[in-house]
Amino acid sequence: MDTEEFRRVGRRVVDELADYFATVEDRPVFPDVEPGEVARLFRDPVPRAGMPADGVLAELEEKLYPYCTHTGNGGYMGLITASPLPIGVIGDLIASALNQNLGAYSIGPSAVAMERETVRWLCELAGYGPGSGGNLTSGGMIANLIGLKLGRDFASGQTAQVEGCGLENAVYVSEERHVSVDKAVDAVGLGRESLRAIPTDASFRVRIDRLEEAIAADRSAGVRPACIVALAGSTNTGAVDDMRALRAIADREGMWLHADAAYGGGMLLSHKWPGLLDGLELADSITIDPHKWFYAPVDAGAILVRDEAQLTRSFGLQPAYLTDGFDAEDERYQYFVHGLEQSRRFRGLKVWMSFKRYGADEIGRWVDANVEQARRLHELAVASPRFESAVEPPMSAACVHYLPTRELSAEQTAALHHTVAERVEKSGEFWIGTTKLRGLDWFRACPVNFRTTLEHMERLLALLLEECSSVEAEL
C-alpha cells in the first residue's frame, strides 16, 4: 500500500466511521443473529494471496459492521464498556501508525513521557502525592493482578518475588468483588483458597466486624493476613467500602491495602458527588480503568501506586539484552523494569487526547448524568408496585427486581428474569445484564455512556414491565 492508497483508504474509513457515529442511535444495540451464523461468515482458509484494500473493506461492511454490539448507543447498559470518545478513536489510529512500544524507552521516548504524565494526572485525581506512579494496563484484570502481586511481596518483606510465598497467606475482600480478584490470587501463587469473601451490609459495603473476625481466625491458625482489597465502586451496585477503617486495619496488621476502583474511579471527576471516594488516597495501590468511566476506547486500564518504588522492588529485573548503555544519568524510564509487561501498547495517547480535547470538567458532567440516570431507574422502580430496587445507586449501576403478581418458585423467578433480559436483547433497544444479590435475580443496568438520557431509563422500565408481564403469563 503506497502513500496515496493509504490516504484514499484512510479517508474512506474515516468517512464511514463519521457516518457510524452519526447513526449509532438508529442501530439495534445487539444484532439479531445466531453465534453459528456469525462464525460461518469468517470461516475461510488462510488467505494465500492478497486482495485490494477496497475488497477488504467491503468484507467488513458485509461481515463485521452489521453484527457488532453498538456500545455507543445510549441503550447499551450492560457490561461496563463505555461509549468511546471520538478523539480517543483517532488516538488509537495514531498510536497504531506510530507503533511505539512503551516497554523500552528507546522504542518511544515521547510516548513514554506522555504515559508518565497521563499516569501522573490519574494519581493527582486519586489524591496521591509526590513519589506515586504506575502504568497503564489492558484493564482492571491485569491492574488487580499487579496490585495483588505488590501486596504479596510487601507482606512477605519483599522476599516472595524471589523465594516464593512461604507462609500461607490470606487476602480479604467483599463478597461483592469482581472475579478479577479471584483470578489474581490464583495467578500470583496465593491460591483461590487464600481468598476470604467477607459479607456485606445493607448497602453492600464490606462489614468491618466480619473482616476483623476473619483476620483474628487466620492469625490463630498461623495464616498471615497479607492484603485487603477494598471496593471503590462494586460492579453490581457501585458500593464503596470504608477506606479509612480498612486503612487502620491494614496498618495495624502490616497488610497491603489495594483499592479496586476500575469502574468507580470515574467518580473522581464528579461535580455533584465529589466525596464519594473519600479515603481512596489511603490505599497503597489503586486500579482505575479509563476505558470504563473516562470514556476511552478499550483497552486502557491503570495500576496506580502510592509509593512508585514498590513497582521496582516487586518487578525490577533488567537483563543484559535490554540494558540501555546510553542512560548514564538514569533518565530513560524503562517500563519493563517497573512493571509486568515488556511489549506495551501506546495506551496513553487516547487517554491524554481525551483529557486535552474535553477536559476533566466535561467528562465529569457526563459521569454525573449517568449517575442521575441510574437514580431515575431506581426511583421509577420504587414507585412501581411491580418492581423493587436493590439500593439507591451511589454510582451508575442500578439493580431492579420484578415482583410477580402471583407466587413463583425461585427457579421460575430466575427463568423470568433471564428470559426477559434475552427478549430485551432481541428487541435491539437496550442491552442490560442480570445478576444475583442476596439470593435473588435482578436486572442490572449500568450506563457509562455520554449518549444515554433520562428518557432511555423511562423507556427501559416500561419495556421491562411489558416483557415481565408477558413472560409471567406464560409460566
How do residues 296-323 score in pLDDT, each as one tens digit?
Answer: 999 999 999 999 999 999 998 766 555 6
Instruction: Return residue ranges of the chain for CATH 3.90.1150.170.
Output: 361-474
DSSP-derived secondary structure letter, 30: S
Cα gap 215→98, rounded to integer Å: 50
CATH architecture entry for 100-345:
3-Layer(aba) Sandwich (3.40)
Bridge partner list, 437: 440
- Taking alpha carbons only, the member of 302, 270, 177, 305 closest to residue 230 is 177
* Predicted pLDDT of residue 318: 66
Residues 6+ apart with CB under 8 A from 143: 137, 262, 287, 288, 289, 301, 302, 303
- Return mean pLDDT, the chain: 94
Task: Name the segment(s) of the chain with CATH classification 1.20.1340.10.
Answer: 3-76
Give the range among 91-105, 138-152, 256-270, 307-321 with minimum mean pLDDT. Answer: 307-321
pLDDT computed for residue 166 by the predictor = 77
CATH 3.40.640.10 region(s) of the chain?
100-345
Where does the pLDDT of residue 269 fall: very low under 50, low under 70, confident under 90, or very high at 90 and above? Answer: very high
Whole-angstrom Cα distance, residue 304 to residue 151?
A: 13
Q: Give the model's confidence band at 324: pLDDT under 50 very low, under 70 low, under 90 confident, else very high.
A: low
The owner of cell 483508504 is: 9
Contacts of 65 (CB under 8 A, 6+ apart): 20
Q: Which amino acid is at 1?
A: M
What is the distance, to the nearest Å, from the Cα of residue 278 to the centroid of all Cα atoms in its chain? 20
Q: How crowded is the C-beta side of 440, counted as CA atoms within 13 Å?
A: 14
The CATH number assigned to the domain with range 361-474 reads 3.90.1150.170
- Alpha-carbon distance 291 to 449, whole Å? 11
d(C-alpha 87, C-alpha 294), whole Å: 12
Are 286 and 125 a contacting pair, CB within 8 Å? no
Q: What is the pLDDT of residue 421?
A: 97
CA atoms of 435 and 444, how far apart (whole Å): 7
CATH no. for 3-76: 1.20.1340.10
Q: Is the pLDDT of residue 46 over 60?
A: yes
pLDDT band of residue 277 (cuts 50, 70, 90) is: very high
Task: Give the pLDDT confidence score for residue 319 in this predicted structure.
Answer: 64
The SS3 of residue 287 is: strand
333 pLDDT band, cuts 50/70/90, is: confident
Asked if pLDDT for residue 142 goes beyond 90, the answer is yes
Residue with cell 432511555: 456
Distances (CA, A) of 79 to 7, 73, 261, 292, 401: 36, 14, 15, 10, 18
What average pLDDT score do residues 140-152 get? Answer: 96
CA distance 409 to 368: 38
Mean pLDDT of 129-156: 96
Q: What is the DSSP string of 145-172?
A: HHHHHHHHHHHTTS-HHHH---S-EEEE
Residues paired with residue 234 on neighbouring β-strands, in sequence order: none
Side-chain-side CA neighbours of 98 within 13 Å: the count stands at: 20
For the stretch 150-205, pLDDT in tens is 999 999 999 998 888 878 999 999 999 999 999 999 999 999 999 999 999 999 99
Q: Give the Cα separation of 177 and 250 in Å (integer).
A: 18
The C-alpha cell 473522581 sits at: 268
